[in-house]
Amino acid sequence: MARIRPMSDSPPRKRREKRPPKPLDSVRLRDLALAYVARYSTSTGKLENYLTRKLRERGWEDEAEPDVRGLIDRYVELGYIDDAAYAQSRSGGLLRRGFGARRVSQDLYAAGIDEHLRAQAAPDEAAKRQAALTLARKRRFGPFYRETLDPARREKQIAAMLRAGHDFDTVRTILNAKSEDAAEEWAAEAHEEEF
């Protein structure tokens, strides 16, 4: 049974105002960076963006200029940040969720991964096909759709797969597959071609 509070003539309490956070100094900046790399898998670009944003929001109170780049370089040297490992991990995670090569490349670019490492983390043909198959199965596209596929719904499926980063030939092949088995065979062919 809910308790009913009696109405009061007193004014509502004011909430205590939040104090603005202290401006950063070299110790606070180092602590922020360390907490960030301890909590998140990150790249040098993402950490630099984070620290720059915090400096913009909170300000700086030390006499010397903030050495964001030096701090990041030190964490790379200590092994707290590894752009190559981040790129491989992020690429694999996106592919397992059904995203295509273009979307993987865009994500790594946004994380500040350089072109050479993005090229190394780019999926091969077998991974591209498997990612397309995963997305089609998960979203019930093409042969995984249980009802009659009308042209408007087919166009929406094509658009969704293109937005997910798959190239048009891959999208067309997976959506034109006659059955689930045919789609799975198409994806498996790329694995066989590698060996």
pLDDT tens for 87-105 read 999 999 999 999 999 999 9
Mean pLDDT of 59-84: 94
**Residues 122-155: tens digit of each pLDDT:** 999 999 999 999 999 999 999 999 888 889 999 9
Quote the tokens at residue 49. 């963006």
Phi, psi values for residue 39, rounded to 5°: -90, -35
pLDDT value of residue 133: 97
pLDDT value of residue 19: 82
Note whether 107 and 184 are same-domain residues.
yes
Note whether 119 and 38 are same-domain residues.
no
- Global confidence as pTM: 0.82
What is the C-alpha separation between 115 and 117, in angstroms, rounded?
A: 6
Q: Where are the beta strands (DSSP E) in the chain?
A: none
Note whether 188 and 101 are same-domain residues.
yes
What is the C-alpha separation between 22 and 61, in angstroms, rounded?
A: 9
What is the C-alpha separation between 48 and 81, in angstroms, rounded?
A: 12
Note whether 151 and 168 are same-domain residues.
yes
